[in-house]
Structure 1
Amino acid sequence: MAGEPNLDTLLRTMAPELQDGVFVFCTVDTHHDIPVELTPLMLFREREGITLIVRCEDAEQVGLPYQFVARLITLSVLSALDAVGFLAAVTTCLAGAGISVNAVSAFHHDHLFVPEARGEQAIRLLQELSRSAASR
């Protein structure tokens, strides 16, 4: 099934979901193994090291230092990988409220990591953005 490319449709039907749990960003050196106890939600290799997004309790269990304690919001609409402006509209909405976002686009959905303390506020803002788009 092909993802949705139309910005208006994406905004109307984004169906943001606040996921359970608290997530953190960690990094490990490219020459070290990832602890076998970890099941990263995301792994991305960069020149400087490997970025991992894992549950906070998992990072703490293996003693892995972390940054950016976050809640995860999944935009449940099946978005096209080449959709134009969707993440820009969503992150602009959250930026207007002073909420930082680390966005991850996967094959089927876009995912937003927002500061843990702002998760509930972020989901309400995104729901309002979706309702506003639907009423146009």
Structure 2
Amino acid sequence: MVFSDAHEVTLLLDEIDWRTIRHAARDAQVEGAFRLLTFDIVLGWDVVGFLARVTQILAEAGISVGALSAFSRDHLLIKQEDLGKALQVLGEHVAELC
């Protein structure tokens, strides 16, 4: 995935793709070991607060996330080391969120 704005270009790559291009990005700022958590439900544009509630639950557990939204699904980048805890705390709220 590529995100570009007036200040930066951000690439989200798997490890194999990063190894392929890293020689061309010598001055890049790199963060690694993330997992992409996808909410595999279609969220219409009339749904208000879903991602806010999810990120609130994770924030209360001390878990930092990067939020990505597609047209009908939301995704979170979560550090690999926090994934188990994130799944646990979100699992405690499945009935509320779904």
TM-score > 0.5 by shorter chain: yes
Name the TM-score, length of structure 1 as normaliser: 0.60
The answer to whether 1:62 aligns with 2:21 is: yes
The answer for the alignment partner of 1:97 in structure 2 is: 61
Instruction: From 75, 83, 87, give the equivalent of 1:119.
Output: 83
The answer to whether 1:86 aligns with 2:45 is: no
User: How do 1:1-136 and structure 2 match up within 5 A?
Assistant: 42-63=1-22, 64=25, 65=28, 66-131=30-95, 133=96
Secondary structure at the counterpart of residue 75 of structure 2: strand
- Deviates further, 72-81 or 57-66: 57-66
Structure 1 residues 47 and 82, CA gap change in structure 2 (3 angstroms): farther
Structural RMSD (CA): 1.8
Q: Deviations over 1:63-86 (max 9, x none)?
A: 244215311111111012352111
Return 5+ residue gaps in structure 1 as ranges.
1-41
- Deviates further, 118-127 or 58-67: 58-67
The one-letter code of the counterpart of 1:50 is V
Structure with greater contact order relative to length (CA < 8 Å, sep ≥ 6): 1
Structure 2 Cα separation of the partners of residues 118 and 78 of structure 1: 25
Would the aligned equivalents of 1:73 and 1:123 in 2 still touch at CA under 8 Å? no
Would the aligned equivalents of 1:99 and 1:118 in 2 still touch at CA under 8 Å? yes
Name the TM-score, length of structure 2 as normaliser: 0.81
Return 5+ residue gaps in structure 2 as ranges.
none
Structure 2 Cα separation of the partners of residues 119 and 60 of structure 1: 24
Structure 1 Cα separation of the partners of residues 80 and 73 of structure 2: 21
